[in-house]
Structure formats: structure tokens, C-alpha cells
Structure 1
Amino acid sequence: MLLVPRRRLPSLGSLVLSAGIALSLSSPLGAEPLAQITPFRQAVAETVAGQAGLAENYRARGFAGIWTGTQAAAVARRNALLSALSSADAHGLPVARYDPEGLAARLRAARSAEERAAMDVEMTRVFLRYARDLQTGMLEPGRVVPLIRREVPLRDPAETLAGFLDAEPVAFLRGLAPTAPEYGRLMRARAELQRALDAGGWGPRVPGGKIVAGDSGPAVVALRDRLVAMGLLEPVSVAVMDPGMVVAVREFQRRHGLAVDGVVGPGTLAELNRSVEERLQSVLVAMERERWTNMDRGERHVLVNLTDYSATIIDDERETFRTRSVIGATSDDRQTPEFSDVMEHMVINPSWYVPRSIVVNEYLPQLKRNRNAASQILITDRSGREVSHGAIDFSRYDASSFPYSMRQPPSNSNALGLVKFMFPNRYNIYLHDTPAKSLFGRETRAFSHGCVRLSDPFDFAHALLAAQEEDPEGFFRSRLATGRETRVNLETPVPVHLIYRTAFTDAEGGLQFRRDIYGRDATIWSALEREGVAISRPAS
């Protein structure tokens, strides 16, 4: 608790000037003239001295209290705040971080003007901390995971406090949380998982070994019981993998991004045996991630969920197009970063300007072994002139001294395929076609150097062009048929959000999970735990 020790206080005029607050001694302070400043207000001014943000807010109120006192407004504010803090766990925030019971006790114990002033300022600090945590998250994402290169939409604390003071307290505090429907669905999922945990979880793990239709035995019984506990199967007494259980397994696989075949193999078994606690952790991380993106994403936007290996077009909160994707490989230098930007144009029949890292780390070693390797790649000098492979002694160069660039002209075998979608960014990440179509049939699709490959790039282009062309398919085909590199601007640029959600809801509101392919959510969960987030476990 912050207490101001009893001592002879300086005059308010000298106090506010020493705090760096511009104030005319002849001007009024709020509704009261300077001569009517009370010991409480003087104590508040002293408490906030040197704290620019708080000082400005309190100065604007003439250093009047916000939370303390018997006035109806102050009572309503503090009751609303203490109630909200006590329910912080509904948002996955740790109640202990705000200590509502301790705040209430110290408020009751405050007697002197200095003690009451200190508690008023402390309540404001807690309010602002809670507001920031709920609006935009507890963590700074880039500090936790460097490849989360996202600008969190932080609110101005002074504006937040001013808005609170002008609003009905309970309604304002409820409105702090993200308003995106996904956040509300995740809140409900958190509550449901907590109830499942309180009820004992999903029962024993399913023993190892493949389970197929017609199998029987202890493993099938354990599978049956777990599917029932998860709500995927009506309670039954059969001990055989019957058609009903196969349907339930298929639904589980669909909800977890697995190959939907109704067979319990190693991958399905591993996901089945994850505990309620693990799933609850994923939801709590997803809620924190939603707070990081608590902003207007655009009436139309592209959403790329890396863990789901998907790219979707969203129009007015409704998915209007979906395609599979391939993302960056799991090695540290190839993972796809998370960020938001704006798609400005597409390039039909693109050239591939080979990134420097690929030039020197992949192609140069090949060319040292065989100067005729990578014949599909053109080599250019610093002036952009093409240089034949035979004119270069590749053995003379290493990664730092190689003076050439590389480019692959437009073709069906171009590494970018026949179209790329550009949202210029410093990470050189974009969406594009690919000639390696077989990869889209795999369950796990982390193979690229960082960019996002699309399974249905032509249809994706048609969907984007439909906003500006009467015949988007015909328009696209006509440009494609030329074989020439063609830039097509989007008349209305489209925001693109590269996100990473191991827990999310589908169009029907059902909860889905994906593997933590890059291990990022595990890192975030550890950081949340350090901030006090914990899962409430039933007493044993």
C-alpha cells in the first residue's frame, strides 16, 4: 500500500509547480477555487507529484478523489471496479494481480487525508492496469516471442480514465474487453473447460496402439469413455469400435485438424490424450492473443491462421472463402512471423527474385559443385545484366563475397507459381501459388522458407477481384494467358492478419484445437504463468 507519511505539507501552489504541473495560482481547480483546497486534495496532489499521467488526470479534476468518499458516484465506481476485479478470472486474468480483497480492506482502514489520498491514487493505478490487461493484454508479445511482430493497439490511459469518469461504471468496465465475437466464444469455452476440470476431467488416457472399426478390448472401452466425457458420443455400453464410435472419432479429428479417417492412429491418440488442463491453457493463451489484436480488422480482411494451415477471406465477420496453406518450416530461420499489414496488389505470372539467404546458403553451394545446377535460375550482376553460369568461377566466392543476384522468370515451374499476393512488409512475407501441389495433401504443412503458399490461388484471386471486376475469372485468365508479369492493383486494399491460434472456434461456435507447431503458445503460457495466471484445479 502506498501511504504518504504525516508531515507538514507544502502549500498546494508550490506543490503543483514542483510537480511540473502548469497551474495559475489565481485559476480555479475544477469547481473549487484554490482557497478551498482540502487536506485530502493537497495529499492527492503530493501523491501524484512526478507521475505525469496520473498528475494530469487528477489536476483536471482539481485533485478531487475518484474512488474514496461517500458520494454516490465514488461508491458506484469503487463497487463496480472491485466487482470486476473479483471476476477477472472469467477473462483468464489472475485476480491476485489486482488484489480486490486487499484493496477493499485498505480502503476501509484508511482514515487520514493522506491515507485516503494514497488509496484513491492506488485504486486508479489498479484500474488502469486492469483496463490495459483486458483491452490489449498483459504481455508484450514481441518480448515473449520475437517472431510475433505485432503492434498491439494500446489505449491512452488518460482517455481511458476520462471515459470511465463520464460513463456508467459497470457498463464501462464490461465494455473494456474485446468485442470480437471470437473473444466471447473463447470466454464460454474457458468456462466449459473449467467445469469439465472441476468434474474430474475426461477420465483415464487411452492406451497406445492403433484402434480401427471392429476392434474391442480395454483400449476401446477407454476410448469410448473419453469420447463420452468430451461430449462427442452419447453414453453407450458397447465395448466394440462400432459405427457410432467411428463417427465420433471422425468428428474429433475434424475439430483437431487431423486427417479425418475414423482411425485412432498415433497422431489422433496423442491429441485424444491431451488433458483438460492443456486445452484450457490453449484457450487462455488464445484469449490473450485476442486482446493483442483488439482492433478493427477491416470489414473485409484476409486471415491466415498458421497453426490451421489455412487462409480465409472474411466479409463482415463471415468466412466467404477458404483455402489450405503451406507455412514456414519449423527451423528458427524459416518460421513464418505473425503480423498485420495491407494487401495492395497481386502479380500474375510473377518472377521470383531469390532472397539473398537462399542465394548464398542453398544455390551457391550447389553451383560450386556443379556450375550448371539450378539452370532455371538467371544470374544477374549489380547492373541487372544477365550473366551465364559458365562465365562465373563459383569456387572463388563465399556467402559474404558472392556479388550476384538470382531471378527465376515467370513459368509454370516458378517457385511462386503463377500468382503472388503482395502486402509489402519488411519481413518479405507474402501469399503465393506454388508448383509443389502435393504438399497440400499432408496433415502437417510447414515446409516453406517463410512465405505462405496457397492451395487454390486462382480462386483466391477471383474472390479478391470480384470486388472490382464484373468478370473476375475472365479478367484473371486474360492476364495469365499473356505469360507476361502483370501487376494488378486492388482498388480497395485488403488488411491481412497472420495469426497463430491453437484454440479457436468455428463458424458454428464449436471449439477447435491445433498443434503448437512452432512452440510459441507454450512460451506464452509460461510467460502468463509468471504473471500469475493459473488454472484452478479441484481439491483432491
Structure 2
Amino acid sequence: MASWIAVCLPVVALFSTSAQEKKPPLIIIPAPDGDKAEDDELVYVSPPPPPLPDFRKLAIDKTIRQLLADSGLPPRRKARLLRMASGAYLGHRFQPFWLDSNPDIVIERVSDALRSHALDPFAIPDMFGDELPFGPIPKTDRVTVDDVRLTLQVAEAALLLKEGPATEKLVWEKWNQGDTPGTIATAVHTENVTRTFSGQLNRHVAEPERVLDAFVPQNWIYERLRKAWLISVSNPNPDLITFRGNAYRGKRYSQARELAETLEMLGFLSPEDAAEGAKTGVFTTAMSYALRDFQRANGLRADGIFGPKTMAKLKRDPNRDRQRIVLNLHRARLVPNEMGDRYVMVNLPSGEIFGFENGHQLGIRMRIVFGRNTEDRRTPIFRDTLEEVIFRPYWWVPKDIAVNEYLHRGPGSLSRSGYEIVRGGFADARSVRMTSSALRGVASGDLILRQRAGYGNALGLVKFRFPNDHAVYFHDTPQKHLFQYSDRAHSHGCMRLEKPRDMAEWVLKHDPDWSSAKIQQAMRYGNRNVAEMKQPMHVFVVYFTVFPLPERENGIAFLKDVYNRDMTSLEGLVAAQGGK
């Protein structure tokens, strides 16, 4: 018979007088080939012992924990560093990494890599202390405390590069609340950085800066802002230019060269067009178009005329500009590397919404009106997933807005404006007669004020719903005049769209059930109609006061700090870096 071993399940009660009695598992030792099965012998055999722990790993992990104990790092950061360093030594068969390296040179190369990403490496050389003895770690093969310390320092530099010195709560406090499209689970993230660090360190230990390359954020906003920062530090003390007079297309202008060079430096004018303007001394057509782009990006009237307001925006403090770029670089670390093939991004300081395709190819762009700069009305900075486009929506007026802004108008005025009072939720709403008593019911929370669908509805003719904890969404509005203002922080927190029909067509353009004609009909006629997203689209509501121009390969816009967040964020960032 064929050689085999059959292992019986350890049903202990069948082979003992008591179910509590433990015996080794029963196995069958087969008879030699050719013998009968009844010649097989039944014996009790002890199972193989569990593998002994690798004392090298235990000793190295103990040293890692001791070095991390007094580091002052947050617990989550310590746990991640433990996994990274321990995994690296496991992949290196518990051999030392830095036996042939000069630690000072390694730290200097790592520090240079951090500086090239606007990070201050001041803490890295002294991190993880020198309280432990410097000699070899017992039970290891030449691995020393210094070797482990240097590995931890490189690992901390990698995380600093990837995540920044400040937690997301110090930068965008609600960014990781609710749905977080583009972000993987914490455990998976830790596993990924552990695997990446181990692989990179084992391959590039002689070039520590290459180890860090794998941890550089890969989203397009970070890449563009870093490029602008490198250009800025390459000329740390540029001559400050004071522009005078005014200029328009075709006019000779005494400061045409300086203006052309400034627009080129900001990325609004190509080198060829800048050279033409500098050579001719004329405010060229290309300069006028570039200036129009600059004006639009900075919330000015985009007329292409160089006047006092545009001059004031062009008058820059280079040190302040670099500081703002660095702050926004740290914000960009929170943006996922992968945002989806098609996604929507709102940048609040620019007061605009962008739709992107194929990574970061601009598909649609328009102005928005967003939340007022008051504690309870600011539009939150968060991310979610667009699930529905709702045509001819009701507006269910939030209680605080109803009480503070509408109930005083009285039953008659509210009825004429399309409002009604209902009892119950959306599925079972029942109309209640509009009376003063019913309005008191709204004030107490027993009843709800609702506006019927139609052209006068506060949400307009279409609403874009991405369910979230903040109860905000995109929608149309009858107040079209607000889009002409440079300051468009006027809403209760939701984001009103300048061209809602265009947005609906862009969002649904790959859905064969929703043609342009059907979308137009759904907005103009009939009752509430819902288009469910067959492929949900990610939504990112961000806050960048320095923002790359999405429609150009180069160029950034310095934007108004509409919610006065920069100073608070900068203070948190400085504190996170030890006050440097």
C-alpha cells in the first residue's frame, strides 16, 4: 500500500476513562509496502515541539523598544518604527547594516534628503538617545546598539518624509473622519511601510537617500509645490520690484521686462513669451493672457489689464512666500497618492471646484460659493464619495437656520416662497397646514420646514450628494450674482456651483442612462429624480493657500487665507518640529 500517515482527530474521551485526561494524538504507522492494512500499528506519538524563538530577534527587538521608550514620539509612531526596524533586521538575517559606514556621513546624507523636501532634520542626529551601552547586543552576530539606533534614525526620517512632523489633526483636523477615500487601513499602511523600508534598506544601505525616495509623497499637488519651493530657495534673495503705472495689451511699458520675468517665475508665462516681452518692451498679447490667468487665480477681475490691484498682488515678500509654500507642502502630504481615475476637488481659498480625469488631467472647472468665515458656518475640510445626483431636490431647512433666518417671516411670506411644514422624515413626510402654531412646532423641533422643488428653491435644480457627518453637499443656487465676487464665502457651509448643469453632465458623462438632453429635462420639469452613481466618485475638499494651477504644467497661485488658518497651522507645525 502507498506510504501515508493518517492523523486522527484527538477525541480524548474515546481513549481515556475521563474526558479531562490528556494523551498525545493517535497516529497510524503504516506497515511496509505490500503488507495488509490490518498489520498497521496503532501508537501514540508526541507532536513535534514548537519552533524555538530566535534569540537574535528577541534581543534586537528589546533594544529597539528601549531606544524608543524615551523618544517622546506618539505611541502610534513608536509602534510603526518598531515594526520597520525589526522587519529590516529580519530581512537582513539579523546582520548589522552599518558596519562599514560612517554614522555621521549617513546622518548628513539623510539630513540633506530631508532638507530637499523642506523638512528640518534638526532632531534626527540626537534622536533615540545614548543612554544604552554602545557595545554589541548580547546573543546577536555583531549587531550593536549604535547600529540599531542608526537604523531607527533612518526609519524616522522616512516617516517624516512620508507623513510630516505634525499629525493630520494639527493640519486638517477632520480629514480622517468618516469615509476616507484614497487611504488604506492603518494596519495595512504599517505593513506596507515596513515592507518598503526593509526592501529599500537592504538594497540601498550604501545610499541612504535612495532608501528615503520610496517615501516621498507622489500626488501631483506635492510634486508641483516642491518644484516651486526648489525654485524659490535657488534664489533666496531676489531683487524686490515695485511696479508703477499701468499697462494693457499692445502698450509700451517701461517695466515690461520685469513684469514678464515675474510672470514667468510664477509659471504663468512661457520662457519664449517672456523673452519676447523683455526684448520688445511691449505689453504683449501673451503677457495679457498670462496676467489674466494670474488675476483669475488670485481672485481678481480677469481683464488682462495691469493696474493697482494686480500690482499689489504681484508685490511679494520672498521669505513669506517660501514659508507659505512649506506650510502647504505639509498639507499636501495628507493628499492620497491615488485619488481615482475621475475625482472632484474643491480648494476653498481659491473658491473653485475642479473635476479631474486620468489622474490629474483637468476636465471641468468652475467657481463656487462656500461657507462664511464664522465658527458654525465654515465649510469643513474633508473627503468623501459622491453617490447621487438629485434633480429638483427639496430643501429640508436645518432647524437652526429655520429659527434664525426664516420663521420670523410668518406663514404667508413662507408659503409664497414655496415653503411648507411637514411632519415625519423623508420617506413618510406628511404636510401640515402653515400656521403660526405650526411655526412654533418647527422652533421646538416637532415639525420641519421644507422648501418645494423648483426654480426658487435654495438648492436650485440639482444637488450632488455625498453623505457625510457634516451635512454639506454641492448644489445649484438661484443667487447667481454671488459668483461674480472675489470673496465668495457666503453660504451656510454647503458649496454652491456656478455651472451646475455642466457639472452634472461631467459627473454622469459615462452613464449611458443620462444623456445631456435627459439631464436638462430632469432639471426643468417633473418631480424629484435621482441618478445614482454607477461608479462612485471621490470628493476632496481641501485648503491650500498656495495651489498649483491645474490647467498649466507650471505655476502656482498665492491665495487669500479665507479662514485664517495659516498662522494656527504654522504654529502647530513649528511646535511639532520642536520649536525650530
1:464 pairs, out of 488, 507, 521, with 507
CA distance in structure 1 between the partners assigned to 2:531 and 2:505 by the alignment: 12
> Quick check: 2:353–2:368 contact (8 Å CA) kept in 1?
yes
Return closer, same or farther for 1:474/1:80 CA change in 2, 3 Å cut-off: farther
Which is worse superposed, 234-243 or 322-331? 234-243
Query: C-alpha displacement at 1:436, in angstroms?
Result: 1.0
Instruction: Give the Cα separation in 2 of the matches to 1:124 and 1:380.
Output: 65
SS at match of 1:292: coil
Deviation at 1:390, TM superposition (A): 2.6
1:163 equivalent in alignment to 2:196: yes
Structure number with the bigger relative contact order (C-alpha 8 A, sep ≥ 6) is 1
Q: How does 1:192-341 map to 2 (within 5 A)?
A: 192-196=231-235, 198=236, 200-206=237-243, 211=246, 225=258, 228-229=261-262, 231=264, 249-250=291-292, 252-264=294-306, 267-317=309-359, 318-341=361-384
Measure how far apart 1:363 and its partner are.
Answer: 1.6
Q: CA deviation at 1:321?
A: 1.6
Does the aligned pair in 2 maintain the 1:469–1:475 contact within 8 Å? no
Alignment equivalent of 1:355, drawn from 398, 401, 405: 398
Opposite residue 416 of structure 1, the aligned amino acid is: L
Could you say what secondary structure the match of 2:435 adopts? helix
Shift of 1:223: 9.1
How far does the alpha carbon of each residue in 1:491-530 deviate from its partner, in whole angstroms, 9 at most, with x for none?
A: 1111111112222222322222221111223322232233
1:131-176 CA-to-partner distances (Å, cap 9, x unmatched) read 2222233222333554656667667446423422223235442121
Change (3 A) 1:69 1:211: same
Which of 215, 220, 228 aligns to 1:181? It is 220
Q: Distance in 2 between matches of 1:493 and 1:363?
A: 35
CA spacing shift, 1:276–1:474, aligned 2, 3 Å: same
Shift of 1:464: 1.8
- Secondary structure at 2:366 match in 1: strand
Q: Which residue of 2 aligns with 1:94?
A: 120
1:509 to 553, 563, 570: 553
Deviations 1:73-92 (A, max 9, x none): xx499966652332212211
Which secondary structure does the structure 2 equivalent of 1:440 belong to? helix
Q: CA RMSD in A?
A: 4.2
Deviation at 1:417, TM superposition (A): 0.5
What secondary structure is seen at the aligned counterpart in 1 of 2:374? coil
Distance 2:474 2:233 in 1: 38
Instruction: State which drifts further: 451-460 or 506-515.
Output: 506-515
Distance in 2 (CA, whole Å) between partners of 1:241 and 1:531 is: 46
Which residue type is aligned with residue 325 of structure 1?
Answer: I
Moved more, 472-481 or 309-318: 472-481
**457, 465, 487: which is aligned to 1:414?**
457
Aligned pair partner of 1:480 in 498, 511, 523: 523
Q: Which residue of 2 aligns with 1:131?
A: 158
Q: Scaled by the length of structure 1, what TM-score is found? A: 0.77
Structure 2 residue corresponding to 1:392, chosen from 424, 437, 452: 437
Per the alignment, do residues 423 and 270 of structure 1 end up closer, same or farther by CA in structure 2, a change over 3 Å counting?
same
SS in 1 for 2:519: helix
TM-score (norm 2): 0.72
The equivalent residue for 2:229 is 190
Contact 1:202 1:229 in 2 (8 A): no
State the Cα deviation string for residues 463-492 of structure 1 (Å, max 9, x = none): 222211166212213433442001111111
Counterpart residue number, 2:567: 522
C-alpha spacing 1:44/1:145, structure 2 compared with 1 (3 Å) = closer
Could you tell me which amino acid in structure 2 is paired with residue 512 of structure 1?
A: I
**After alignment, is 116-125 or 516-525 more displaced?**
116-125
**Preserved CA contact (<8 Å) 2:393 2:461:** yes
1:9 corresponds to: none
Distance 1:105 1:441, change over 3 A: same
Q: Which residue of 2 aligns with 1:27?
A: 52
Indicate the SS of the match to 2:379: coil
Which AA in structure 2 matches 1:29?
A: D
Which secondary structure does the structure 1 equivalent of 2:533 belong to? strand
Aligned to 1:20: none
Describe the superposition over 1:393-416 as per-residue Cα deviations: whole angstroms up to 9, x where unpaired.
75x6896x3532111010101011
CA contact (8 A) 1:144 1:524 kept: yes
Task: Tell which structure's C-alpha radius of gyration is larger.
Answer: 2
C-alpha distance in structure 1 between counterparts of 2:293 and 2:81, whole Å:
53
Q: How many residues align?
A: 489
Provide the residue aligned with 1:438 in structure 2.
481
Q: For residues 333-392 of structure 1, what are the alpha-carbon distances to aligned partners after superposition, in whole Å with 9 as ceiling and x for unaligned?
A: 21111111111111111111111221122123x24xx44333322122357432333351
Displacement, 1:427?
A: 0.6
Distance 1:90 1:436, change over 3 A: same
Question: Per the alignment, in what secondary structure is the counterpart of residue 322 of structure 1?
Answer: strand
- Matched with 1:69 is 99
How far is the alpha carbon of 1:124 from its aligned partner?
A: 3.6
- Give the Cα–Cα distance (whole angstroms) in 2 for the partners of residues 346 and 338 of structure 1: 21
Gaps of 5+ in 2: 1-48, 71-77
For residues 567 and 447 of structure 2, the distance between their equivalents in structure 1, rounded to whole angstroms, comes to: 41
| Residue number among 399, 411, 414 corresponding to 1:374 in the alignment | 414
Amino acid of the residue matched to residue 141 of structure 1? E
- Counterparts in 2 of 1:111-150, with a 5 A limit? 112-113=135-136, 117-144=144-171, 146=173, 148=175
* Long gaps (5+) in structure 1: 1-23, 536-540
Change (3 A) 1:89 1:533: farther
Q: State how far apart, in whole Å, the 2-side matches of 1:304 and 1:52 are.
A: 34
Q: Identify the residue that residue 6 of structure 1 maps to in structure 2.
A: none
Identical columns (%): 25
Flag the 1:119–1:476 CA change in 2: closer, same or farther, 3 A: same
Pair 192,404 (structure 1): closer, same or farther in 2 beyond 3 Å: same
Q: Distance in 2 between matches of 1:174 and 1:519?
A: 34
Q: Which residue number corresponds to residue 29 of structure 2?
A: none
Question: Per the alignment, do residues 227 and 148 of structure 1 end up closer, same or farther by CA in structure 2, a change over 3 Å counting?
Answer: farther
User: Secondary structure, in 3 states, of the residue corresponding to 2:333?
Assistant: helix
Letter of the aligned partner of 2:224 in structure 1?
R
| Distance (whole Å) between structure 2 residues aligned to residue 158 and residue 103 of structure 1 | 23
What is the rounded CA distance, in whole Å, between the counterparts of 1:28 and 1:187 in structure 2? 46
